[in-house]
Structure 1
């Protein structure tokens, strides 16, 4: 008796397709995963930026050791012409956040960051690290001094270390945005606004007014700006300052 297999279809192909569909529903919430190739690499930074210490399993985290190889691969892949970074993060590890920000800032390809929901704490340097930064009108950014968790040794060296790390963050933000050091420190050390902390919560329009972010917008604006910079790069134009985030 002849087997009832369709030409070119191996036994078990239907089952494999079914499993892939189920996985797409579970992972992406949709029946079909996007298959079209794009020249834009999209990277999301969500939850808490995880550093050298593994956070509890109930925390939604972004691990820096996952992002750095992706950025290296995007830099080396000739098919990728631009990088879009979407942020909705509460912050996290300072050194891990600065490492990600430095990686984005030193990419040779056009980069655009989009802050949705929140780009708090160490998310601020990441948000300003691209060639162009956009924030949603309802998104917020919390700017506050560096904090330490765990055992703290009460010696002058501890405070000197904190001060030096604070200066690293301030220097990076001011070098990659239009905000002045005086204004940034004013926002960072403001009292009375945050109930349990020193600092300021900046909403979308204020982030643009203070010079932290370049423009208010959404995903369409971010992709349009990235495509514009890609076209400029193709034409040999200067798509943006190497420092990033500075309007030409």
Structure 2
């Protein structure tokens, strides 16, 4: 009798874990494997300093930054895979994430699935190697403001400087020429009620914005190649 009572909490804990797994992932058990690759997803809208409504699918930048720091510090992690399907969002938060990815000492690969729009573009090009799915799209447009705009010269100067920050980051971390990026960014007539350009898969590669067209398998293959180079360099420095 005492043995049965002792076993009850353990059974309850297992049942609770199973229920949580079904609710979160829709499956009975999760694959338990150790990997030297850390996978990070940026889904929906990049949330910055303003909390978005609960019905919005968001990725909070304050959640991503600690993950990137942990991946950089963890000796078992040798590479970082970033998967994007984002509509964009807060400019400063997006640039902060992009700068964090770009400053990683470990190899990193980004993969655009579905979409990498607006401020998702700097994030997509921030890694050591970038890929885009064949049907994925990227919308390139100027910075916009929502809500009331204060009509003073300082407001325009602030937006202009922020725009230059975005353009400079993209051109520094990809092969697209600055004049071509600005041409796509300020193009009129293509997007309804807006200015800018939407590029699809191979076009993003053609313009030099993304390195290659591919999927998850290609991204992991490329990341493993970069990890091998990283190991060789690190071993050379140790010797």
Asked if TM exceeds 0.5, the reply is yes
Residue equivalent to 1:40: 37
Partners of 1:72 and 1:83 lie apart in 2 by 11
Structure 1 alignment gaps of length 5 or more: 238-248
Deviation at 1:25, TM superposition (A): 1.1
For residues 62-89 of structure 1, the C-alpha deviation after alignment (integer angstroms, 9 at most, x for no partner) is: 0000000110011000011000000000
- Aligned CA-pair RMSD: 1.5
Partners of 2:229 and 2:8 lie apart in 1 by 49
Moved more, 9-18 or 40-49: 9-18
Partners of 2:7 and 2:194 lie apart in 1 by 62
Partners of 1:116 and 1:31 lie apart in 2 by 27
Does 2:118 match 1:121?
Answer: yes
Partners of 2:75 and 2:43 lie apart in 1 by 27
Partners of 2:54 and 2:204 lie apart in 1 by 33
Q: 2:128 aligns with which of 114, 128, 131?
A: 131
For residues 120-166 of structure 1, the C-alpha deviation after alignment (integer angstroms, 9 at most, x for no partner) is: 00000000000000000000000000001122101111111111000
SS in 1 for 2:233: coil
Does 2:116 match 1:86?
Answer: no
Structure 2 alignment gaps of length 5 or more: 235-239
Residue equivalent to 1:222: 219
Q: Which runs of 4+ in 1 moved over 2 A?
A: 1-5
Deviation at 1:4, TM superposition (A): 4.5
Q: TM-score, normalised by structure 1?
A: 0.92
Residue equivalent to 1:168: 165
Residues 1:158 and 1:231: Cα distance change in structure 2 (over 3 Å): same
Residue equivalent to 2:237: none
Residue equivalent to 2:19: 22
Residue correspondences, number: 235
Partners of 2:111 and 2:7 lie apart in 1 by 44
Partners of 1:139 and 1:2 lie apart in 2 by 60
Q: 2:74 aligns with which of 77, 82, 91?
A: 77
Q: TM-score, normalised by structure 2?
A: 0.95
Does 2:67 match 1:66?
Answer: no
